[in-house]
Structure 1
Amino acid sequence: MNLHSKHSPLGLALLVALGLWGGASAAAGTGSQTADDTVRSLAPVEIQGEHAREPIAPAPSGDTITRVNAEGIRLFGGPAQSNPWTALRAAPSVNFQSADPYGLGRPSSLRLRGKSSTHIGRTLNGLPIAGEPGFANGKGGADLVDLENLSSISLTRGPVAADRGFGFSNSGVVDSELRWPEHRFSAQAAQSFGTYDFRRTFVRLDTGDLGSHAARAFVSVSDTLADQWRGPGDSRRTNIEAAIALDISPRIQAKLYGVHHQIRWHSNRALSHAQAQDESQYEDIVYNDRLTGNAKDDVFYYQFNRQDLTNKALIGDVRIALGDHDQIVFKPYYWQEKGWVLSGSANELGKGKPGVNRWNVDHDNYGFDLHYESRPDWGEWRVGYWYQSSEAPPPPTDRASYEIQPDGSLAFRQWSTLAETTRHKYMNPYATVTWQYGPVELSGGLRYMQYKDPSFQYFEADGVTPSPDMYSKGRTYRSWLPNAGIAWHITPDLLASAHYGRTYGRQNWGSVASTYTQNKAAFQAAGLHFNDIWNGLRPEQSDNYDLGLRYSFPTGYIASTLYYTRYKHKQLNMFDPDINVSYHQSAARATAKGLELELGLNPVSDLDVYLSWSWNKASYDDDIATKAGTVIPVGGKQMQDSPRHMAKATAVWRPGAWTLMLAANHIGSRFGDTEEKERVASHTVFDAGVSYDFSRFMGIRDASLGLTVSNLFDKRYIGVINSSDYTVGGKPSYYPGAPRTVVLALSGRF
């Protein structure tokens, strides 16, 4: 059965663009510049000077930040131009993997300095727009905005300033900056075709300054689809985005951004470690393309393993200038996600009886960042308040179990999870200051993290009867999150820096409800109720220390970072000998340390080279007891899916109208399990691209024709390892990396 139509909306999008183009051309004026200079002068600071033109480079401030500019997004963001993580693969200590060659389907994974994406903050214009921080990984909010509509993507590793990474950002922050409506009228279009029936259409229209230059807007449409490379099924992603910017007065500027995002995909089937060792099975062990009539086999039917999610979001930005150096900034936002996830399971109905689980996803969040900032001659300071209210999930609150009928239909049997809940709430005042004294820059900040988790009331399998012992009362957590740093230009070419920051990662509720349900008698015999287990969970906390040194020379730079991180309240699925059950507890400690190197070279004016290397050791401090009562010797061993060594290289050469790109990504050997028994071999993957710029061809500005090849030498390797930071013991699952894919793209601006 063909789940989705595959007709690209290119014709419709082009008609819309042409119609809007005509209207905008009539409305656009050529009047004099408006008096909004005061507001614009206090807009967010862009990187200027050193490294500004390079596609990927470290921040010039000495902070442990790697930034990808608009050209870097185009070059490294992948053919689908949908997932910001893709553009960051070359950064040090980043292990990004995707089971889908275009990043449309799932799973995908990002690890930073050994930590999983659960605790990596993801923000859009500094706002945690994609739902509960860390939750949108694998759900529709992970790739909310087309990458063509971003001006830059930055990755903060380790210490995070008090005014960044709102929400939980215990190992770093990925922040994407929106590309707002432009002052000049333009129409942008791109069309791509590639391997596995990949097709993508993107159209964007900017009105430019309208009338007296008081308003400007844009609208964009994209449609992306591709077949699965392993087994039956496909993926499809459709986006509609629009924004308006208003210069209300010489000192007041307001912007509003909206997006409607829909993504649907069939899941990839995982491999065991034994299966992952045999490359010949990579394309044989897949989901079934037809029903067999046997429920045990039909849990692997591809239509019973798919997802369909729709996201909507609004993002505001209001700036009121109070002079030449001061302004008030108000950034409200709203996000909503609705959809469902189907997954077949051999034990869905209990006692070895197969079935299909439907997870109904329906949640939203809203909030704002309000701050006052000033940029006097000696530096900059900011004081503000961040608020957010989020609806569950997480954790899941609406999951139903279905039995597979002989004719292939699904019959509802019971609720596997059903709960009423209040909302997650965040109330965080913060302050930051930066002081410049000659060659020395001092920075500091403080955020008071106040987080109230929800109250829950779970129901029995009938969905009607409240479970008398399955409830929890919401709690409020409070913690001071300080940060401090110093950057010293020892010479104009030599910069030394030191930074410290305390960060916060949300607790994982995971399988707490199902574990308690299955072992209720044991818990109650020990005098423990569900609320007691719930209250035992605490947000993870880390103290991060970075030492940096960067030397710049006429044709490039070399930057090094030595880091050390201590984690406490780290959550693991641990054995409790008093109950004889393993369940989530916030009782472990861990340490991460490493060295990162970045080298940028510009030996000639048309060549940019970027190299990175990292050594990372992230390990548990102590051994862990299991359900069987034995001790697993994990103390000092590397965390799951965390390579010790990674090396990356990119080169962009622009001879005349040509642009040639070559990238290499080496990921060292990893282990899927905590005992270091399931080893995954290292791999090196090469990507290449070439494009030709038909500048001013037939009146088309920035017209280009390009060819990109991912996994140039068709390397067979294991990419995603589905292994949680929280699991000790157990069996992780494995997904082959995507094979060679070839994409032809035509793009231009009018």
Structure 2
Amino acid sequence: MLLVSTTLISVTAQARVPYDSRHAPPHPVSRHATPATAAPAKATTPAAAHKPPAGIQAARGEDVSVIGGMRTANGVTNTTPGGGLMARQTLARSQSTVTRDFIAKQAPTGNAIAMISALPGVISASTDPLGQSNTAMSIRGLQQAEIGFVYEGIPLNDSINYTPYTQAMVDTDNIQSVTVAQGAPDIGAPVYNDVGGLVTVALRGPQDHRGGMVDFSFGSKSLQREYIRYDTGEIGHSGVKAFASFSSTTNDQWRGSGVFKKYHVDSKLIKNWGEGSSAGLTFSYDNWQQGNYRPVTLTQWEQYGTSFNYTKEYFPGNTNWIGLQQYQRRSTVLIAPIKLKLSRSTTLDITPAYMNYSEFYFGGVNIKNQGSYFGNQAIPDLNLPYQTNGVMTASSINPVPQKTGFLNAALTWKAGTNTFRAGYIYSYIALEEPIYYAPVGYDGGIANRYSKYMVTLPDGREYRTLDMNFKHQMNEIFIDDELKLLGGRLTLDAGLRYLMITRWATNLIPGVTHYNVGGSYSQPLPQVSASYQITPNDQIYIDGTTSYRAPASVQVYGEVFSTSSPNPASKQSSLKGEYAIGEEIGYRHYSTVNVALSLFNYNITNNQITSSQYINGIPLPSPIEAGGKTSRGAQGEIGLRPWHHWSPYVSAQYLHATTDNNIIKGNDLLPTRGKRAVQSPEFSAAVGISYDDGSVFGNFAFNYVSSQYSTIMNDEKIPGYETANITLGYRMRKLWFAEHPQFQLNVVNIGAKNYLSGFQSISTNAQPTQGIRGTTIAGSSPLYLSAGGVAAIASLSTGF
């Protein structure tokens, strides 16, 4: 029996403990590391999740693994293969999970998307190595807005543009696991954009015993971060336990000028009673402020590299001053999950939630005192202050406050080898989205951006170029049935969900094409799957799924005007929903060496490529209708269980994704049929190795991503790139009152390579192109995210 450290406990072979991603990994012995359940799905007791399928016996005499956990303050148990990157899966779909064994050893400033960048098919791009800013990711060539994100039973994505603000929802220190379903979505997932798969973030919930943890981090760009968490343990014999945490982060911007500030609170209270009943309350608050990073064209990147930034100094007319280029977001989330064991065979899960998101996008624009427009109406004289040659510099302000009411309910009934589930999901969203302007003084002073002294019209009304009121209502019902045959070796599953969405909006700007506009979307979405347990360690599976995404962005329903033109800068267009049919076939083997392989194929209609455009200094979504798309390929991962304290991991994916038809541009067609799809690297791979003997620990991760096209015509692309990160640390057992204090050093992008990591915008063609009907179609340059530079973060943490 191999011992991982002197604190490990020897138990049975890991092959006898199947891991179901719907539950946390096997329970460690540390009082600080009791895992919490992950995303909601078919109800299965934790004990059942630790047993092999009925009728399957573990191989005789097999005693090759230690899965008992080591004691740590931050939840590391050193039980997950691949250093925490390859938790065991049993569901009939391609799926990968990272656990605390990996998450706790990454930079504490990171986010859930950064944590999964080594998994097969996942491409993660960021504008800074600290992982703090908005990210841009893809899975199997499908964009971030096509991927569903779930946290504690609620959707993580922005309600309208589908951006997953993972860093605003939960601190990395409180994440128990992150699970990626690369293609097939969970039929009961409470999202309506999961064409490209599903990412589930599980909270590290209240621990069984009283205690806590503190972490202090310092690093590059004057980084300072403080984190503290307190767990009550079970209060008396009430069955009630809770935790609360607070973190504060400040640092200078990675490129150019500006600062980053973030304050975050996580907490959860849960009450357990009877055999499997519980009620809880999860609360999250986040206050995030930062200067924007300036996107670049390929020409600008080749000429200036990372020095192409917003400026530190202001002068009248300088709309690229960092003081104007800001972003702020405040999030408040309340989740109240309830689980009722109605009988031995029936369970009811209900999760109501309320989300309040307050976003502010800031930019800069020069407004003419005479010759400006309010919608399609010319303004004779705006009587602007701080004019220079008849022009005033203004701060463009785009608040996007969203209020969401949400309900997720499911009833599960078990009868012998059959499990039936039925559910209902509801959400209601309300937001008012204006764009207005505040004068900028000669010295750069900006009037109150949130209330008074805005630019006004001659009649006293506030001057706006967007004035939208938006409502959204979703109803979804689903049924699902799972049948186990052949002594539990064969599992068959079939389900159907029916999605119904209604949206309506009004825009008060004069000259809009439609004052009142909206859309209704409904779609039945069947799924089928089958898996067969060949041996206790070997499984094959196949699945067929359908998925759907309603159009992204309120700009689909409303038009935004420029200050300098009577015509809309963005035209309202009624887009259809995106629909996909997918198939997967896969094989898994779990033993000393763990292997997962799969082949996949997707056919997508009404493919909508997420892009953006700048209007009056504000980045606004601008979807591109790209018709049909085919995506097929192969992926795999290999991970070793801890062996002499070492755990290597390798993942890779080959992808062939193409555009299936020519794209309409004006009165012509671009010859895009058969072109490689944008943001779809042909090859990606990751290599990692982890070491942990209970005291000394560390890991190394290397990622490679091949080139990616940024235009549908394939006339511009970003080159392939490599990144590498390293972690080194030392952990003690006990020092006075400190439980397992440790020092950790994270070095991100150790090669300090500067590279283009992703896309701010996509275009149909970068160069002038002759259409099929002979018209010369003008090109437009895509905008890219610039990354690079080495970051070092030193952390001192301890439990108490």
Q: CA deviation at 1:207?
A: 0.6
Q: CA deviation at 1:357?
A: 1.8
1:389 correspondence with 2:414: no
Q: CA deviation at 1:193?
A: 0.6
1:374-523 equivalent positions in 2, closer than 5 A: 374-392=413-431, 397-402=433-438, 404-409=440-445, 412=455, 414-421=463-470, 423-438=471-486, 439-453=489-503, 455-460=504-509, 469-509=513-553, 511-512=555-556
Match of 1:158 in 2: 183
CA distance in 1, matches of 2:145, 2:80: 32
1:44-443 equivalent positions in 2, closer than 5 A: 53-54=80-81, 55-57=84-86, 59-76=89-106, 78-81=107-110, 83-106=111-134, 108-132=135-159, 134-137=161-164, 143-247=168-272, 252-278=277-303, 281-293=304-316, 295=317, 298-345=318-365, 355-392=394-431, 397-402=433-438, 404-409=440-445, 412=455, 414-421=463-470, 423-438=471-486, 439-443=489-493
Q: Is the 8 A contact 1:566 1:591 kept in 2?
A: yes
Query: SS of 1:118's equivalent?
Result: helix
- After superposition, the C-alpha distances for 1:312-332 in whole angstroms (9 at most, x for unaligned) are 001111111123332111111
Match of 1:561 in 2: 598
Match of 1:30 in 2: none
Q: Is the 8 A contact 2:130 2:748 kept in 1?
A: no
Q: Is the 8 A contact 1:128 1:167 kept in 2?
A: no
Q: CA deviation at 1:426?
A: 0.9
Q: CA deviation at 1:404?
A: 4.4
- After superposition, the C-alpha distances for 1:227-253 in whole angstroms (9 at most, x for unaligned) are 112111111111122221123556642
Query: SS of 2:120's equivalent?
Result: coil
Larger fraction in helix:
1
Q: CA deviation at 1:726?
A: 8.4
CA distance in 1, matches of 2:438, 2:418: 61
**TM-aligned CA distance change 1:723 to 1:288, over 3 Å:** same
5+ residue gaps, structure 1: 1-39, 461-465, 524-528, 575-582
Match of 1:26 in 2: none
1:611 correspondence with 2:650: yes
1:596 correspondence with 2:635: yes
Letter in 1 for 2:682: R
Q: Is the 8 A contact 2:168 2:288 kept in 1?
A: no
TM-score normalised according to structure 2 size = 0.79
Letter in 2 for 1:399: I
- After superposition, the C-alpha distances for 1:677-734 in whole angstroms (9 at most, x for unaligned) are 2222111111111111111222422321111111112122111221248899532112
Letter in 1 for 2:152: N
Q: CA deviation at 1:480?
A: 0.7
Match of 1:15 in 2: none
Letter in 2 for 1:288: T
**TM-aligned CA distance change 1:605 to 1:326, over 3 Å:** farther
- After superposition, the C-alpha distances for 1:191-211 in whole angstroms (9 at most, x for unaligned) are 111111111111000011111
- After superposition, the C-alpha distances for 1:442-491 in whole angstroms (9 at most, x for unaligned) are 112211111111x222112xxxxx65742234443211111111111234
Query: SS of 2:299's equivalent?
Result: helix
Q: 2:681 aligns with which of 628, 643, 649?
A: 643
CA distance in 1, matches of 2:357, 2:496: 32
Match of 1:679 in 2: 717
Overall identity of the aligned pairs, in %: 19
- After superposition, the C-alpha distances for 1:619-675 in whole angstroms (9 at most, x for unaligned) are 211122324x45433222222232111010111111351112000010111122222
1:15-34 equivalent positions in 2, closer than 5 A: none
Match of 1:548 in 2: 586
CA distance in 2, matches of 1:610, 1:251: 36
CA distance in 2, matches of 1:444, 1:44: 25
Q: Which of 261-270 and 484-493 deviates more?
A: 484-493
Q: Which of 310-319 and 128-137 deviates more?
A: 128-137
Match of 1:738 in 2: 788
CA distance in 2, matches of 1:131, 1:47: 35
Q: Is the 8 A contact 2:363 2:397 kept in 1?
A: yes
CA distance in 1, matches of 2:291, 2:214: 28
5+ residue gaps, structure 2: 1-42, 53-64, 68-78, 379-390, 447-453, 457-462, 612-621, 767-778
**TM-aligned CA distance change 1:573 to 1:683, over 3 Å:** closer
Q: Is the 8 A contact 2:431 2:469 kept in 1?
A: no
State how many pairs are aligned. Answer: 675
